[in-house]
Structure 1
Amino acid sequence: MKKILLPFIIAAVTASSMSFASTTIRLGVEPGYAPFEIKKPDGSLAGFDIDLGNEICKRMAAQCSWVESDFDGLIPSLKAKKIDAILSSMSITPARLKEIAFTQKIYGTPARLVTAKNVELQPTAASLGGKRIGVFQGTTANTYAQEKWAIKGVDVVTYQSQDLVYADLVNGRLDGAFQDAVAADAGFLKRPIGKNFHFSGPEINNETYFGVGAGIGLRHEDTELKAKIDQAISSMLADGTYAKIASNYFDFDIYGK
């Protein structure tokens, strides 16, 4: 589904007024993270991130081209100029800011542990000793689990998608799953597949690992694109469009969490 790069057209516009008409913005996404990004049975993409991206492109008079990728391949693809931006529930963390730039926050991203309802665990190495905890590779949850738990003997198991984590949790191959709390709530616990599971222990909001929220990833040099996207996000927040889109997925303030 990758398309040939259509560079931002500078001809036919003045130096003081950049037009994004006839421009395709290639947005990298890993479509296995409900309710933010999913692939429907017909192959089309849907979810909160997809709706946000399409609205942003609309406000920029640009065309969104969604490029699917493994999550841990998104930053390399951006740096290699195979995509123009990352819109895939990517947290703005100090480590990632050394590699890429981000837009302003688009929503909050605390992390949380999920276990069976008859199991109570805390998100600590002491509580998780001898347990198997599933994480989605390339995520902030994976980094946190590896550096805080795995080095102390917890069996942290990485998967290529969040859905695979949930599948093994349901099948009893895992004692718990650790991931974004919002995604776990709307994409698992509120679905039939998650009826026998619950959040175990408190949220983790460590900014070193989980940042200040999710944003759209960009190359450091693409300052004009960043300004245009930030402007679109700000206008969506101001005129109520953001809240309207969010209400289709969440019954709480996703931006403020």
Structure 2
Amino acid sequence: MSLATFLLAAVFLPLFPLSAAFTALYQRAGHSVGRAILLLAWPQLGLALAATADGPPPGWLLALALGTAALYAFRALALRELGQWTAFLAASLWALLWLTEPGAATGTAHLHALGMSAPLALVALLTGGLERRFGAAYAGLTTGLAQTLPRLSGVLVAAVLASVALPLFPAFFTLLALLVASTPGMPAVSLVLLAVWLLWTWAGARMIQGLVVGAAAPEAPGYRVADLGAASAWAYAAALLALAAGGLLLTGDLP
């Protein structure tokens, strides 16, 4: 029964090939608010299911979690559409939650999941803003946003960096706790985690470069795209600052 429970949880804490359920559902959830809610709730369901199992997950499942994280981080490198990129990055991040004792009753794993998901939810909302303005959020199609939409570009860059575990944000401290815990007895795990982190940051840099950096695409005569409102920009900034502050709470998991 425990194995069946873990396999069901693997749909929500995505393990390949069961991870396809989330990525397909995310693409079908066309509204940005729905996608944000899905990002926040999906891993919490997986953790709740894992908590009902008897005992810890088997070792082969943890190895599959590392492989899934690496696979989706690598695949995110080739993606140019921001919505799909967000879904693949989420699958990579959440797979590592299997290494945070998902069945523990302390609730710490739920905090790790929330810290990983919240920046992705912000990216999903910003993706919706880009889609409303340009019809798509595709790197290379809408370039040079820093020049035409500076406020939206600023919060988008910060949200993407928070998603790929930039220091001070929650995902960074989750990864750091996993690295510290694995280094003494499992150096190979540490190497995989570092490789996954490198792939996250590389994928994030490529996405930012394709959307924000470079010359702005010429506007049609008489047509001008509106930037993010000042109040909305401050709201996003406040959310990102709260995430940075919340990330410090996860330092308690460091040995």
Identify whether the pair has TM-score above 0.5, normalized to the shorter chain.
no
Higher relative contact order (CA 8 A, sep 6+): 1
Could you say which structure has the higher helix fraction?
A: 2
